[in-house]
Amino acid sequence: MISIKLDRKIKTAVLSVISNSILITIKLIVGIYSGSVSIISEAMHSTIDLIASIIAAFSVKLSSKPADKEHPYGHGKIENISGLIEGLLILVAVFMIILEAVDKLSGHHELNVTAAAVGVMMISALINLIVSSILYKVAREEDSIALEADALHLKTDVLTSAGVGIGLILIKITGFSVIDPIAAILVALLILKEAWNLCLNAFNPLLDSSLPEKEEKIIEQILKKYTNNNLQFDHLKTRKSGPYRFVDFHVITDPDISVKKADEMTKHIIKEIENSIPNVHVHINIEPKKRIIGLSYSHLFCSFFIKVYNKGENFCHCTIHLRRYLLPNFKGA
């Protein structure tokens, strides 16, 4: 039976919303005061993260709604759509960061490097490290692509915030303000890589791609375990929708086995699959094995033909060829 701890997922998504809201405020204040495009770009990125966190919070709630008449397979793909939207939002942030950084590279700009500017980036990295670890833990345990996307956002922020903080320190030491926009571009490239991976992970299930090879092998091993003369399996199909997995296959039974007995046998198979793979729904189509037409070669008949060869004017030579055939008796279906 599919069971998702909805409250836990929503509380985790709300935690991300709160942390991003606080960080945006701090980064904007310090960024505007110091004139650092890197800090302002980080504030912009955190704004995108805030929007993504809000989307994630709504998506985990909607995706956990039970199946209904219009959505017989549930609403799990809402999380995949959410993850894809979050990936696209990251691409928007990358574009904005690069534009701002290129503008700063093309002209001189004053940069006020302060202990507050460096401190806010390091504190931001620490907060995001803690929150992203919590998000990723819950995402992995609940198999939530929406929370995973949020965790990846914050994990990227950890690297970029620390990078910007180190860049500001280098500017203070060297006096080269060009380090600031260069650091911003490097931040954008890191974010771009995360966005690409996220979009792929979110998009594939929307095309009903198969479950990971590891999970399919587990299913195949279970089916192989129950395969015998009375029970065989065919047409295995798998797919994923948000945190939910769907497994479909045909069970081919001996025609002499009753429907009740076949149903009891398949219940054990379903139970073992559910115990081996989380959040899985198994659909089985039971088919009686078709009897193969049998052939009994108990009857024989013969045929022959004659070849006549002309051996001269008064003689001829005859060859008789005798063939024996098996006449089948048809039994079956």
Q: Could you tell me if 191 and 222 lie in one domain?
A: no
**What is the side-by-side order of every strand in the sheet holding 231-241?**
231-241, 244-253, 280-288
Domain boundary among 191, 206, 221: 206
**What CA–CA distance (Å, rounded) separates 135 from 132?**
5
Q: Give tens-digit pLDDT for 31-82.
A: 787 777 667 777 877 787 788 788 888 888 887 777 778 777 778 888 888 8
- What average pLDDT does the segment 264-277 reach? 88
Amino acid at 162: A
The domain that contains 230 carries what CATH number?
Answer: 3.30.70.1350
Bridge partners of residue 285, in order along the sequence: 250
**What CA–CA distance (Å, rounded) separates 27 from 187?**
15
In a domain, 52, yes or no: yes
Q: Which stretch, 34-38, 181-185, 191-195, 236-240, has highest mean pLDDT?
A: 236-240
Domain of residue 327 covers: 294-331
Domain boundary among 206, 224, 245: 206
Q: Could you tell me if 166 and 224 lie in one domain?
A: no
Q: Could you tell me if 76 and 175 lie in one domain?
A: yes
Number of domains the chain contains: 3
Q: Give tens-digit pLDDT for 211-245.
A: 888 888 999 999 988 888 778 888 889 888 877 88
Going by their DSSP bridges, the two strands 244-253 and 280-288 should be labelled as parallel
**What CA–CA distance (Å, rounded) separates 30 from 41?**
12
For the record, the structure tokens of 37 come out as 């495009």
Q: Could you tell me if 84 and 201 lie in one domain?
A: yes
pLDDT category at 130 given cuts 50, 70, 90 is very high
Q: Can you give the pLDDT at residue 134?
A: 92
Q: Could you tell me if 108 and 249 lie in one domain?
A: no
**What CA–CA distance (Å, rounded) separates 151 from 139?**
8
**What CA–CA distance (Å, rounded) separates 44 from 120?**
15
**What CA–CA distance (Å, rounded) separates 193 from 84?**
14
End-to-end CA distance of the chain: 39
Q: Could you tell me if 162 and 130 lie in one domain?
A: yes
Q: Could you tell me if 251 and 298 lie in one domain?
A: no
In a domain, 262, yes or no: yes
Q: Give tens-digit pLDDT for 295-320.
A: 444 444 444 444 444 545 554 545 44
Q: Could you tell me if 124 and 28 lie in one domain?
A: yes
Q: What is the enclosing helix (H) or strand (E) of 170?
A: helix 145-174
**What CA–CA distance (Å, rounded) separates 78 from 244?**
11
Q: What is the DSSP string of 80-110?
A: HHHHHHHHHHHHHHHHHHHHHHHHHHTS---
Phi, psi of 257 (to 5 degrees): -80, 135
In a domain, 88, yes or no: yes
Q: Could you tell me if 170 and 258 lie in one domain?
A: no
> What's the whole-model pTM score?
0.63
Q: What is the enclosing helix (H) or strand (E) of 318?
A: strand 316-331
Q: In 10 A of CB 141, how many CB atoms?
A: 13
The domain that contains 49 carries what CATH number?
Answer: 1.20.1510.10
Q: Could you tell me if 11 and 155 lie in one domain?
A: yes
